Amino acid sequence: MQRYSLGPEYKGWQQQSFVTGGPLDFEVDLSRDEVGPQKKPGEYRRVWILEFGGIQGKVSTQRQLGMNYRVTNEDKEAESSEFLRR
């Protein structure tokens, strides 16, 4: 999996590579591949390129996912009568 990040915290596009494996290799590991938090406000873009292995370790197909998101430095109050458990 390749991850590309662009935003105020980066100088141009930043690329990171992750190797996945095992029975859950199709799942994104949010402990290392989260979408935030960011330290600087602004517009961010994140792109993931997933490579699915083919015969004898050759790449048979790729998929690309991407998202744009905005980070602000505004504090918002949250209020809820419901407790959500993880």
Helix (H, G, I), strand (E, B) or coil at 25: coil
- Closest among 78, 12, 10, 5 to 40, alpha carbons compared: 10
d(C-alpha 37, C-alpha 25), whole Å = 24
pLDDT tens string, the chain, 86 residues long: the values are: 888 999 998 899 999 887 766 655 556 655 556 676 678 889 999 898 887 777 776 667 888 889 898 888 887 777 777 766 65
Quick one: DSSP state of residue 23? T
- Closest among 33, 16, 25 to 67, alpha carbons compared: 33
The whole-number pLDDT of residue 78 equals 72
0.75 cut: is pTM over it? no
Domain ranges of the chain: 2-71
The whole-number pLDDT of residue 50 equals 80
Quick one: DSSP state of residue 30? T
